[in-house]
Amino acid sequence: MPTKAKTFVALAIVPGVMMLAFAVSNWECADAVRFTIYLLLALVASTLKVRLPGITGTMSLNFLFILLGISQLSFSETVLLGAVATIMQCIWKSRTRPSIPQVLFNIASLTMAITSAHFIYHLPQIQQVNGTIPVLLALAACFFFLTNTVLVASVLALVETKPFTTMWQQCYIWSFPFYLVGAIIAGLVSVSTHYVGWRTSLLILPIMYFTYLHYKLYVDRHVAARSSNFSA
């Protein structure tokens, strides 16, 4: 790994780990059952990964439960859920064993993304203008997406010595549709929670699983087609 990339990773890990430590040290949990179920579902979702073309990394469904956590759980619960789910995503059926700095960077970048999204969602000034859940969750999803993809694209650009705009565009093109659908489903679950309870609202989640299967099939076909064209 180039020196610039190592420096960037180290600089990103420090604030991310500090935010994680702050969240854990100020633990809040209003409903231990709901947190436990969301955490278990997030761990399962972390095993449902999609390898993005042209990018060293994967996407998983765990971001859906992070968005749900932002709207339904405390900051400390959401950060811990994201950190544990990230570790699962890094180690589950990984082609190469991730190094400790790689895992810490992934945790740190996700923690910073959760922090920015949680801050926007619960910002009083925004809630006074429009406090509806879909609007707040859409804003939170945008900040989560931007923070996460900018950090990941930055380190990939340094590692692969490519322009940041090129790497970020690849992250954006392949991941944004997945994020968009996930944000919509998270919004449906969060809104329905107020009417039928959080347990019943989870019945909406299978929609996201079928979306994942369709998206993974699409990406696999694209990779196969590109490989065949390259071979030809």
In terms of pLDDT, which residue wins out, 15 or 179? 15
Q: pLDDT tens digit string along 102-149?
A: 899 999 999 999 999 999 998 888 777 766 878 888 888 889 989 988
How far the first Cα of the chain sits from its last, in Å, is: 33
- What dihedral do alpha carbons 181, 162, 159, 231 form, nearest 10°? 80
Distance from C-alpha of 18 to C-alpha of 142, rounded to nearest angstrom: 23
Angle between helices 3-25 and 100-121 (to 10 degrees): 50
- Please name the fold of domain 3-231: Arp2/3 complex 21 kDa subunit ARPC3 (1.10.1760)
Residue 18's pLDDT band (boundaries 50, 70, 90)?
A: very high
CA distances from 144 to 36, 120, 159, 198, 209 (A): 23, 10, 23, 23, 21
Q: pLDDT tens digit string along 59-109?
A: 888 888 999 999 899 999 999 999 999 999 998 888 788 889 889 999 999
Angle at 192 between CA 189 and CA 193, to 5 degrees: 85
Strand ranges inside the chain, DSSP E:
49-51, 58-60
Token pair listed for 100: 């400790």
Residue 161's pLDDT band (boundaries 50, 70, 90)?
A: confident
Show contacts of 147-152: CB within 8 Å, 24+ apart. 147/109, 147/112, 147/113, 147/116, 147/117, 148/109, 148/110, 148/113, 149/175, 151/12, 151/109, 151/112, 151/113, 152/57, 152/109
Would the pLDDT of 230 be above 60? no
Would the pLDDT of 170 be above 90? no
Q: pLDDT tens digit string along 201-220?
A: 888 888 888 888 888 888 78
HSE of 116 in the Cβ direction (CA atoms, 13 Å)? 19
Domain locations in the chain as residue ranges? 3-231
Residue 32's pLDDT band (boundaries 50, 70, 90)?
A: very high
Distance from C-alpha of 140 to C-alpha of 81, rounded to nearest angstrom: 17
Threshold 0.85, pTM exceeds: yes
pLDDT score at 75: 95
Token pair listed for 86: 């990230």
